[in-house]
Structure 1
Amino acid sequence: MQATTQPVFFKQGPKPFSLLLIYASLSLALLLVDVRWQILQPAREAVSVLLYPLQWLATAPVSAAHRVSDFLVSQTELQRENRKLQDERLLANAELLRLNALRQENEQLRHLLATRDAQHGKGALTEVLYDDRDPYTAKLVLDRGETAGVKLGQVVIDPLGVVGQITRIQPLTSEITLLTHKGHTVPVQVLRNGLRTVVYGMGKENALQVHWMPLNADIREGDELVTSGIDGTYPAGLPVAKVSKVDRNPGLAFAQVRCLPAADVDKHRFMLILDEQRALPPQPPAPEPFTPKKSRKKETL
């Protein structure tokens, strides 16, 4: 009888432990050789090139999430910084405007002080509180009144010339009528030749005008008009106006002379009230009325 043999279902080979030792020895030897001579560097580079797409796909979601997060954070920070810079710019602009206004006021005050010194120190600085409530009048309300020694008729000037005259006083405030007020008059003379005349105000929005000027009068465009001082109210020599137009129409009896105020009557905040008033001699008494004498014939009859 022949002995039966069992079929071989599994391939016989080295045991797993033996294979582990073999592969571990090979790996160790390969590591030592690679450390010494770098023989696997080309293989690593090739493998890294082949695996780069897989690495990019694996890290793409995370990188995209980081970029979106950074973008949102950056936009928020930029908006916050932009808002902060805009607020600082607005504050800086407001501060610059305030400093410019203060600088202009200081310059105006220096000019007024110089003008007061030129008037031998006779004058009081005043500040404009507001315009008169009537829009059809050219008047201003000042912060000095009767308690500060303000009197009716005092002249108000700015660094450029005459502004107006005190026409109403109260205990704490006073009212000034500007040159441009309709019907306001100022005795003046032409600085160039001494020709005397009177300047009339024509309204808040209109220029000044000289009335009753003969056609042949020696007055021309560009002439400067200063106070003549003959009324005892305005000191002599203060700038009042400048002739802007002279119309000598032969069909009219008088020349049409228009002027512009020398002072900035509606711009300045601070002004100077002059307290110099010249005392004029009293006016001569009025003559006695004329009475005709009776004729002698009537007496004899």
Structure 2
Amino acid sequence: MLLCAIAAFALMFAEDRFSRMEDVRAQLSTVVAPIQWLVSVPSDVLTWTSLALSDQRELVEENRQLREQLLTLSHRVQRMANLTAENVRLRELLNAARHDDVPYITAELLALDSDPFTHQMVVDRGRRDGAYIGQPVMDASGLVGQVTAVSAYSSRVLMLADASHALPVQVNRNGLRFIVQGTGRYDALDVLHVPDTADIREGDLLTTSGLAGRFPIGYPVARVFEVKHDPGQPFAQVTARPVAQLERSRHFLLLFPPPPSEPRDDPSLWDESFSVIEPPLPGRDS
């Protein structure tokens, strides 16, 4: 136990001091991936054998295909509520920008973190599939979290419920923007710094605002279920419940949102109305 404790402290110190430890962790995750698959082999073999001895195998395969199809269709339908509200605000604009579909790949749950103080999981998509750190992860209902570590064959995902996770959101009904942070519980998220006079109500849908540049705009995150007003306090206490099935989902989508556009420093954008008027030099007629 003492040797293990010393080794653990040494690894934490090395990870804090040396940037190369992240590459080492990724390599170790690649080494551990076959072990994770090997552990799941007995249950997979037993399940397959029981299905092979019954006449339900075809029904199970059909159910799997329908589940994947439902996941794909849910990805396209999730943004309908946000697009409807956005259409109300922008229908008078003739040149409103069109939102393109975001590319994605499907992933399946491999393991859950056994630490009760963190909410992380491992999925079966890695660097070889195009996964990257910071990639948004969703299930059929809404946003689940983001990728925090990537190996060749798997990725670690930090879920919304983790107390260290926060992201910018907006109220779908009126466009008010806030920050949502995890509480360490699967069924509750804190909406931070909500003014006591803000127009936010129970039942409001919170969607990604896209301001951080990491999550695409318009995907459902949580739904407000409690708003407490404390007289004399400048901020209200607002709690929301994630719309994603964090405790039950096994199939996910890894999104590939386009990179945020950067402002261009184009001299042609300047016109004559912004020309600089130079003062007359001394000794010359102005």
**Alignment partners' CA distance in 2, 1:121 and 1:251:** 45
Which structure 2 residues correspond to residues 17-32 of structure 1 after superposition, within 5 A?
Answer: none
- Secondary structure (helix, strand or coil) at the match of 1:220 reads coil
The residue number in structure 2 matching 1:112 is: 71
Identity %: 37
The residue number in structure 2 matching 1:66 is: none
- Secondary structure (helix, strand or coil) at the match of 2:245 reads coil
**Alignment partners' CA distance in 1, 2:139 and 2:69:** 11
**CA distance 1:254–1:170, change in 2 (3 Å):** same
**CA distance 1:97–1:136, change in 2 (3 Å):** farther
**What residue identity is the alignment partner of 2:164?**
G
**What residue identity is the alignment partner of 1:266?**
E
Which structure 2 residues correspond to residues 144-159 of structure 1 after superposition, within 5 A?
Answer: 144-159=125-140
Report if the CA contact (8 A) 1:199-1:209 is conserved: yes
**Alignment partners' CA distance in 2, 1:103 and 1:208:** 36
Which structure 2 residues correspond to residues 100-139 of structure 1 after superposition, within 5 A?
Answer: 105-116=64-75, 120=101, 122-139=103-120
Report if the CA contact (8 A) 1:232-1:280 is conserved: no
**CA distance 1:223–1:117, change in 2 (3 Å):** closer
The residue number in structure 2 matching 1:259 is: 240
- Secondary structure (helix, strand or coil) at the match of 1:242 reads strand
| 1:120 to partner: Cα distance | 3.0
- Secondary structure (helix, strand or coil) at the match of 1:244 reads strand
Which structure 2 residues correspond to residues 1-301 of structure 1 after superposition, within 5 A?
Answer: 105-116=64-75, 120=101, 122-281=103-262
**What residue identity is the alignment partner of 2:150?**
I
Q: What is the TM-score with the length of structure 1 in the denominator? A: 0.58
**CA distance 1:134–1:211, change in 2 (3 Å):** same
Runs (5+) with no aligned partner, structure 2: 1-49, 78-99, 266-286
Of structures 1 and 2, the one scoring higher in RCO (CA 8 A, sep 6+) is 2
| 1:136 to partner: Cα distance | 1.6
For residues 82-136 of structure 1, the C-alpha deviation after alignment (integer angstroms, 9 at most, x for no partner) is xxxxxxxxx89x9699899767654431222224556736100000001013222
| 1:283 to partner: Cα distance | 11
**What residue identity is the alignment partner of 2:180?**
V
**What residue identity is the alignment partner of 2:69?**
R
Runs (5+) with no aligned partner, structure 1: 1-90, 285-301
Please give the root-mean-square deviation of Cα atoms over the aligned residues, in Å.
2.9
**Alignment partners' CA distance in 1, 2:227 and 2:264:** 35
**Alignment partners' CA distance in 1, 2:214 and 2:59:** 36
**Alignment partners' CA distance in 1, 2:139 and 2:170:** 20
**Alignment partners' CA distance in 2, 1:137 and 1:222:** 27
How many pairs does the alignment contain?
193
**Alignment partners' CA distance in 2, 1:223 and 1:140:** 28
**CA distance 1:167–1:98, change in 2 (3 Å):** farther
Higher helix residue share: 1
Report if the CA contact (8 A) 1:137-1:204 is conserved: no
**CA distance 1:180–1:268, change in 2 (3 Å):** same
Report if the CA contact (8 A) 2:150-2:156 is conserved: yes
**CA distance 1:98–1:251, change in 2 (3 Å):** farther
- Secondary structure (helix, strand or coil) at the match of 1:109 reads helix
